[in-house]
Amino acid sequence: MRVYIGCGGYSNDDWAAPGLLYDGVRKDDYLATYARHFDAAELNASFYGIPGLKAFEGMLRKSAGRVRFTVKLHRVFTHDRAPTDDDFDRMLQSPEPLREAGVLGPYLAQFPYSFHRTPANRRYLQMLTERFAGHELAVEIRHEGWDLPEVREGMAQRGVIWVSPDYPPAGGLPEPQLHVTADVGYLRLHGRNATNWWDGQSAAERHDYRYSRAEMDEWAQKIALVADDLSELYVFFENTTRGHALKNIPQLREALNAHGVPVQAPDPLDFPDDGRLL
């Protein structure tokens, strides 16, 4: 199993704070700096506007082809749920530069908590998976009503990736377990800030949480248990607020190696240590 580890987005202004990854780095150089330390990135910008071919070409160039990108579907697919044929065409065609270079990971469909398991929503999800047939599609569903073996069995039959989340113990959310429904796994670590999950005014507040070493070891154990069932696993830290993810990723790498799951970090011979990753 090849494990790719990165963050939800790479343009995190919090990381420009003194002593963190982007301290003294021009915003245009964020991705090049990011690529020195991480081999995967979850693209959030595509949720707000589908980038064009040139934008994806720029991502490929700045990352030197060293980063696997997963691409979040535009909100018209998951929140508005009224995509047009043109939306499908642009979503599927724009990342072609990444696809050709072999660095395109799964598409990510991140549904809101309000997306309950109703007959209408089940039909919509079936339509969406059919339109993305032939492409890796990872689906995160936040309402606990979907957290059922029969739902995951249906996804497995269609080759759809169940996104395994780590949410706070805030009620109404899927359990923090690592489930396998395809040859590729997808884990999103949101942090466990139960106080701000429902009442936070922003995503930054909800994700303001730093995992302990024990919590990282807990996830490393869960990952080790499915290592023989997957060819690839994507692990994304969403707790980028105040640089929490920068502390937790080395801890997870260390824990995975200790549990017999080898993790390939960027080669220090290619990228000498610049002291930025604390």
- The encoded tokens of residue 165 equal 């989340």
The one-letter amino acid at 75: R
DSSP-assigned states of every residue in 221-232: HHHHHTGGG-SE
Taking the C-alpha atoms of residue 191 and residue 201, their distance in angstroms, rounded to an integer, is 16
pLDDT tens digits, one per residue of 170-184: 889 999 999 999 999
Of the candidates 143, 193, 145, the residue with the CA atom closest to the CA atom of residue 173:
143
Backbone angles phi, psi at 206, to 5 degrees: -65, -30
What ranges make up the beta strands (E) of the chain?
A: 2-8, 40-43, 68-72, 104-110, 137-140, 161-166, 184-189, 232-237
Helix (H, G, I), strand (E, B) or coil at 6: strand
- pLDDT of 267: 62
Contact predicate 185/163, CB 8 Å: no
- pLDDT of 269: 42
Would you say the pTM of this structure is higher than 0.75?
Answer: yes
- pLDDT of 164: 98
Of the candidates 217, 226, 208, the residue with the CA atom closest to the CA atom of residue 253:
217
Of the candidates 232, 248, 182, the residue with the CA atom closest to the CA atom of residue 37:
248
Counting Cα atoms < 13 Å in the Cβ hemisphere of 22 gives 20
Per-residue pLDDT of the chain (278 residues; tens, 9 = 90+): 999 999 999 999 999 999 999 999 999 999 999 999 999 999 999 999 999 999 999 999 999 999 999 999 999 999 999 999 999 999 999 999 999 999 999 999 999 999 999 999 999 999 999 999 999 999 999 999 999 999 999 999 999 999 999 999 988 999 999 999 999 999 999 999 999 999 888 999 999 999 999 999 999 999 999 999 999 999 999 999 999 999 999 999 999 999 999 997 776 445 444 555 44
- The encoded tokens of residue 14 equal 């919090």
Q: How far is CA 155 from CA 17, 51, 115, 144, 248, in A?
A: 41, 28, 17, 16, 30
Taking the C-alpha atoms of residue 176 and residue 192, their distance in angstroms, rounded to an integer, is 11
pLDDT tens digits, one per residue of 110-133: 999 999 999 999 999 999 999 999
Beta partners for 163? 186
- pLDDT of 173: 95
Domains and CATH numbers, the chain: 1-257 (3.20.20.410)
